[in-house]
Amino acid sequence: MPLVFIGPPGAGKGTQAKIVCARRGIPQISTGDMLRAAKAAGKLPGDLAAKMAMGALVPDEVVVGLIDERTRAADCRDGFLLDARALKLDHVVALEVPRELLIERAVLRRTDKRTGQIYHLKYSPPPPGADLDHRADDREDVVKGRLDTYEAMTAELLPYYESRSLLRRVNGVGTVEEVTARIFKVLGSNGGE
């Protein structure tokens, strides 16, 4: 089942994708992860890497190329979950969260440099002694710019998926478990449990 999660930065796509993938036994394909890996491997032009750090969009042809390469892998044969636009889909899940909460979620997010564990200063504080990193694209001005870009992009994208009866709108506010239950409800399943 090809499945896509759409939602602004901080809506909880990554958290929910891990749960859905584990229950469905399908891989999660993250364009953000693919772009970061390509950047780390030196596969992106320097100017593009610099634009990414400022929250700018990557050209579609770069993203589509990465997606195409990844979805040809053997583990995608039975389906996959993509956290961005895709080509042939069964469902598009739009996680909806108020803008103010999205900003709070992103701006207060931190990553432990040693373990890679993600924390939130308000909702999931790090343990004492954690060596924290605040990603450049989680700074407030960058987050607001990313949200503006997301809203401009999806102004036409969401109605497009809705007109094809693919869009499933989900309230992304609440506990992880509450949001997960809403997602499986719109997908018409109990999550494989």
Q: What is the pLDDT of residue 107?
A: 95
Q: Of the candidates 173, 134, 183, which has an alpha carbon nearest to the alpha carbon of residue 8?
A: 173
User: What is the domain partition of the chain in residue ranges?
Assistant: 2-187
User: Whole-angstrom Cα distance, residue 131 to residue 113?
Assistant: 6
pLDDT level of residue 134 (50, 70, 90 thresholds): very high
- Residue that is written with structure tokens 């584990």 in the block: 22
* Torsion 137-140-144-150 (CA) sign: positive
pLDDT, averaged across the chain: 84
Distance of alpha carbon 60 from its chain centroid, rounded?
16
pLDDT tens track for 12-57: 888 888 888 888 888 887 777 788 788 888 887 778 877 777 767 6
User: Whole-angstrom Cα distance, residue 5 to residue 32?
Assistant: 13
The one-letter code for the residue type at 75 is: D
CA distances from 44 to 31, 33, 52, 121 (A): 14, 13, 10, 32
Cα atoms in the 13 Å half-sphere on the side-chain side of 115: 11
pLDDT tens track for 145-183: 989 988 887 888 888 889 988 899 999 999 999 999 999
Cα atoms in the 13 Å half-sphere on the side-chain side of 15: 20
Q: What is the pLDDT of residue 88?
A: 58
Topology of 2-187 in CATH? Rossmann fold (3.40.50)
**H helix runs in 41-191, sequence order:** 46-53, 60-71, 99-107, 140-163, 176-187
Q: Is the pLDDT of residue 68 over 70?
A: yes
pLDDT level of residue 101 (50, 70, 90 thresholds): very high
31-40 helix and 46-53 helix, angle to the nearest 10 degrees: 130
Q: Is the pLDDT of residue 137 over 90?
A: no
Q: How many residues does the chain have?
A: 193
Q: What pTM does this model have?
A: 0.65
